[in-house]
Amino acid sequence: MKLFADILQRSRGCIINSSGVFAFDEWGVNGEDFLTFEPKTLKWTPLSDLATPVAVEWNKQDIRNHVFGDFLHQVCPKAHDALKLKRAPWINESAQTGNFLGICRIMYRQ
Protein backbone atom coordinates (compact mmCIF):
# COMPACT_ATOMS: atom_id res chain seq x y z
CA MET A 1 0.00 0.00 0.00
CA LYS A 2 1.38 3.39 -1.00
CA LEU A 3 0.78 6.42 1.14
CA PHE A 4 0.73 9.83 -0.51
CA ALA A 5 1.26 13.01 1.42
CA ASP A 6 0.74 16.47 -0.03
CA ILE A 7 2.06 19.50 1.78
CA LEU A 8 0.04 22.68 1.46
CA GLN A 9 1.98 25.83 2.41
CA ARG A 10 0.77 29.39 2.91
CA SER A 11 2.83 32.50 3.45
CA ARG A 12 0.90 35.65 4.31
CA GLY A 13 2.18 38.92 5.65
CA CYS A 14 3.74 42.24 4.84
CA ILE A 15 7.13 43.80 4.44
CA ILE A 16 7.34 47.39 5.64
CA ASN A 17 10.22 49.71 4.85
CA SER A 18 10.83 53.33 3.88
CA SER A 19 9.42 52.64 0.39
CA GLY A 20 6.05 51.58 1.77
CA VAL A 21 4.19 48.36 2.45
CA PHE A 22 4.55 45.22 0.34
CA ALA A 23 1.84 42.72 1.24
CA PHE A 24 1.66 39.11 0.12
CA ASP A 25 -0.49 36.00 0.37
CA GLU A 26 1.08 33.04 -1.43
CA TRP A 27 0.29 29.35 -1.57
CA GLY A 28 2.49 26.41 -2.46
CA VAL A 29 1.93 22.69 -2.89
CA ASN A 30 4.73 20.22 -2.20
CA GLY A 31 7.31 23.00 -2.28
CA GLU A 32 6.18 24.39 -5.65
CA ASP A 33 4.63 27.83 -6.19
CA PHE A 34 0.89 27.44 -6.67
CA LEU A 35 -1.15 30.63 -6.24
CA THR A 36 -0.60 34.25 -5.23
CA PHE A 37 -2.96 37.05 -4.24
CA GLU A 38 -2.55 40.46 -5.86
CA PRO A 39 -3.52 43.05 -3.20
CA LYS A 40 -3.91 45.87 -5.74
CA THR A 41 -6.42 44.01 -7.91
CA LEU A 42 -7.85 41.75 -5.17
CA LYS A 43 -7.45 38.79 -7.52
CA TRP A 44 -5.67 35.44 -7.35
CA THR A 45 -3.03 34.59 -9.94
CA PRO A 46 -2.21 30.96 -10.70
CA LEU A 47 1.48 30.10 -10.67
CA SER A 48 1.00 26.65 -12.18
CA ASP A 49 -1.45 25.00 -14.56
CA LEU A 50 -2.98 23.05 -11.69
CA ALA A 51 -3.79 26.31 -9.88
CA THR A 52 -5.85 27.81 -12.70
CA PRO A 53 -9.21 26.25 -11.68
CA VAL A 54 -8.58 27.26 -8.06
CA ALA A 55 -7.82 30.86 -9.09
CA VAL A 56 -11.00 30.99 -11.19
CA GLU A 57 -13.11 29.81 -8.23
CA TRP A 58 -11.40 32.01 -5.64
CA ASN A 59 -11.68 35.08 -7.89
CA LYS A 60 -15.47 34.68 -7.80
CA GLN A 61 -15.45 35.22 -4.03
CA ASP A 62 -15.37 39.02 -3.94
CA ILE A 63 -16.19 39.42 -0.25
CA ARG A 64 -13.41 37.04 0.84
CA ASN A 65 -10.96 38.75 -1.49
CA HIS A 66 -11.81 42.15 -0.01
CA VAL A 67 -11.23 40.71 3.48
CA PHE A 68 -7.81 39.42 2.37
CA GLY A 69 -7.05 42.81 0.84
CA ASP A 70 -8.07 44.55 4.06
CA PHE A 71 -5.79 42.26 6.06
CA LEU A 72 -2.85 42.98 3.80
CA HIS A 73 -3.43 46.76 3.56
CA GLN A 74 -4.80 47.57 7.02
CA VAL A 75 -4.35 44.83 9.62
CA CYS A 76 -0.79 43.79 8.83
CA PRO A 77 0.70 47.32 9.07
CA LYS A 78 -1.26 48.02 12.29
CA ALA A 79 -0.06 44.71 13.77
CA HIS A 80 3.49 45.68 12.85
CA ASP A 81 3.18 48.99 14.69
CA ALA A 82 1.66 47.34 17.78
CA LEU A 83 4.30 44.62 17.88
CA LYS A 84 7.13 47.05 17.32
CA LEU A 85 5.94 49.12 20.30
CA LYS A 86 5.99 45.96 22.45
CA ARG A 87 9.33 44.91 20.91
CA ALA A 88 8.08 41.38 20.37
CA PRO A 89 11.15 39.13 20.19
CA TRP A 90 9.92 37.12 17.20
CA ILE A 91 9.71 40.10 14.85
CA ASN A 92 12.27 39.83 12.09
CA GLU A 93 13.55 43.35 11.68
CA SER A 94 16.74 44.20 9.84
CA ALA A 95 18.84 46.83 11.59
CA GLN A 96 20.47 47.75 8.29
CA THR A 97 17.37 48.41 6.20
CA GLY A 98 14.60 48.90 8.74
CA ASN A 99 12.50 46.30 6.87
CA PHE A 100 9.80 44.49 8.79
CA LEU A 101 8.75 41.03 7.75
CA GLY A 102 5.71 39.48 9.38
CA ILE A 103 4.79 36.05 8.08
CA CYS A 104 2.09 33.63 9.09
CA ARG A 105 2.82 30.12 7.86
CA ILE A 106 0.16 27.44 7.79
CA MET A 107 1.06 23.90 6.82
CA TYR A 108 -1.50 21.23 6.17
CA ARG A 109 -0.47 17.60 5.90
CA GLN A 110 -2.86 15.03 4.58
Q: What's the pTM value of the predicted model, to 2 decimals? A: 0.67
pLDDT tens digit sequence for 59-104: 999 998 888 888 877 888 787 777 666 655 555 554 444 444 455 4
For Cα atoms 71, 74, 77, give the angle at the middle one, nearest 5 degrees: 100
Nearest by Cα to 84 from 26, 16, 13: 16
Sheet strand arrangement including 43-46: 43-46, 32-38, 20-29, 7-17, 100-109, 92-93
